[in-house]
């Protein structure tokens, strides 16, 4: 048996959100991952974020590749659309689905092997083209599913469980996302739900390519001394540059702050992100300053977390391609096939 269904029995007094669902309605099957795996905490954060956002589960499409991380969509949002694609190919399948139906909210779930090794080209192009989605990489520095080989995000000098030293330079997905044009870039830690839940909410409400790199320790293959993706290492080196409050649409904003202390950004869906700067020298609206700050801190072994970059004017692929507002499956024959006269006109324009 490869999965375990959850019993449907639920307590009648469970709190419901504004659309009438309990938190249980956002869960999936029982996880078969190793006990203590960071990925399960990320699933819990996604469940929490979607429940608090009052999202109707059928409005979400969750897509993933292959890996322990890519298995996780089975463990949350059991009533949503889902597509477990081929290893490293989630971004292109998600792009196609998104172009066919922009009404859904897209969650791309991937691993460091899935996105930084085999799927690096796919990751890069999804970021570059501004595909609207919340792209979450559950980053443990190893290929967990195939028994713990170093992945492309493993830091140079880090040590495997068997004592092998990694001599290769790491791929920094956050740095790449910044360079390639992602308009919402964050890093978090699976052990910090307080930070992760608002970051996921912000990514879901964002109007373009939103990327979150979540350090997510693999307890079975990469949680020892010498690993830079272990619980201990990340707890000791975690340096948060910002804290965000997610303010839902139509909520009253009451607290006042001194100028420079917070940055308020209106999101695509009408919600507001209030960014509290924890480091005064960090500017999350300047892509290149953010990149150089991150590089400098990374050199010192720090794991910089928080909302690292946000473009308040984000746009997405639909805008640049001028696509139909309505999902393709809702278009009638006349819209889909405008007839021979329209075809002649189009051909003439291309001669
Ligand atoms: C085309 C292809 N190549 C290789 C594999 C074998 N494979 C399965 S999962 C995986 C790596 C998964 O690593 P990651 O994405 O980091 O996920 P994790 O298990 O660590 O969460 C590999 C190499 C595969 N399934 N398909
Ligand atoms: S092998 Fe690692 S990544 Fe996979 S479920 Fe176990 S702890 Fe998680
Ligand atoms: Mg991995």
Tell me whether residue 330 is in a domain: no
CATH at 194 = 3.40.50.970
Q: How many CB atoms lie within 10 A of CB 220?
A: 18
Q: Which of 72, 77, 71, 74 is nearest to 41 (CA)?
A: 72
Tell me whether residue 283 is in a domain: yes
Give the ligand 2 atom nearest the CA of 147: 1
What spacing in Å lies between the alpha carbon of 93 and ligand 3's midpoint?
A: 20
Q: Is 40 in the pocket of ligand 1 (CB under 6 A)?
A: no
Binned at pLDDT 50, 70 and 90, residue 292 comes out as very high
| Number of domains present in the structure of the chain | 1
Tell me whether residue 334 is in a domain: no
Tell me whether residue 142 is in a domain: yes
Tell me whether residue 6 is in a domain: no
Host domain of residue 121: 23-321
Tell me whether residue 345 is in a domain: no
What spacing in Å lies between the alpha carbon of 164 and ligand 3's midpoint?
A: 17
Tell me whether residue 18 is in a domain: no
Q: C-alpha angle 26/31/32, rounded to 5°?
A: 165
Provide residues with CB under 6 Å of ligand 2.
Answer: 33-34, 37, 39, 68, 140, 144-145, 218-221
Encoded tokens for 238: 């975690």
> How much is the pLDDT for 256?
64
What spacing in Å lies between the alpha carbon of 116 and ligand 1's midpoint?
A: 11
The model's pLDDT over 171-195, given as tens digits with 9 standing for 90+, comes to: 999 999 999 999 999 999 999 999 9
Atom 3 in ligand 1: which residue has the minimum CA distance? 87
Report the sign of the C-alpha dihedral through residues 61, 65, 70, 75, in that order.
Answer: positive
Tell me whether residue 1 is in a domain: no
CA distance linking residue 60 with residue 73, whole number of Å: 11
What spacing in Å lies between the alpha carbon of 253 and ligand 3's midpoint?
A: 40
The model's pLDDT over 138-156, given as tens digits with 9 standing for 90+, comes to: 999 999 999 999 999 999 9
Q: Is 217 in the pocket of ligand 1 (CB under 6 A)?
A: no
The model's pLDDT over 228-271, given as tens digits with 9 standing for 90+, comes to: 999 999 999 999 998 888 888 777 666 666 656 788 888 888 88
- pLDDT at 135 > cutoff 50: yes
């Amino acid at each position: 048996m490869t999965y375990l269904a959850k019993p449907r029995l639920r307590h009648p007094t469970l709190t419901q959100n504004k659309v009438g669902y309990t938190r249980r309605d956002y869960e999936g099957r029982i996880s078969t991952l190793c006990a203590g795996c960071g990925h399960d905490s990320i699933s819990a954060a996604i469940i929490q974020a979607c429940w608090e956002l009052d999202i109707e589960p059928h409005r979400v499409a969750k897509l993933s590749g292959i890996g322990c991380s890519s298995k996780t969509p089975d463990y949350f949002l059991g009533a949503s659309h889902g597509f477990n694609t081929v290893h490293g190919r989630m971004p292109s399948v998600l792009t196609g689905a998104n172009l066919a139906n922009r009404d859904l909210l897209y969650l791309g779930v991937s691993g460091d092997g899935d996105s930084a090794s085999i799927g690096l080209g796919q990751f890069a192009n999804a970021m570059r083209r501004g595909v609207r989605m919340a792209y979450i990489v559950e980053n443990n520095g190893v290929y967990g599913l195939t028994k713990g080989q170093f992945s492309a995000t493993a830091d140079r000098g880090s040590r495997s469980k068997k004592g092998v030293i990694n001599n290769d330079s790491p791929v920094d997905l956050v740095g790449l996302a910044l360079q390639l044009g992602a308009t919402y870039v964050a890093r978090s830690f699976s052990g910090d739900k307080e930070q992760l839940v608002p970051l996921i909410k912000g990514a879901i409400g964002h109007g373009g390519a939103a990327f979150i790199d979540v350090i997510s320790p693999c307890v079975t293959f990469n949680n020892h001394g010498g690993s830079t993706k272990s619980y201990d290492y990340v707890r000791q080196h975690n340096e948060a540059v910002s804290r965000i409050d997610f303010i839902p649409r139509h909520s009253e904003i009451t607290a006042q702050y001194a100028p420079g202390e917070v940055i308020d950004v209106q999101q695509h869906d009408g919600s507001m992100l209030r960014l509290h700067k924890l480091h005064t020298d960090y500017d999350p609206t300047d892509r290149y300053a953010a990149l150089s700050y991150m590089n400098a801190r990374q050199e010192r072994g720090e794991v910089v977390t928080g909302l690292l970059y946000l473009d308040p004017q984000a746009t997405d692929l639909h805008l640049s391609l001028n696509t139909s507002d309505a999902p393709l499956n809702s278009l009638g024959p006349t819209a889909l096939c405008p007839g021979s006269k329209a075809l002649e006109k189009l051909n003439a324009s291309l001669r």
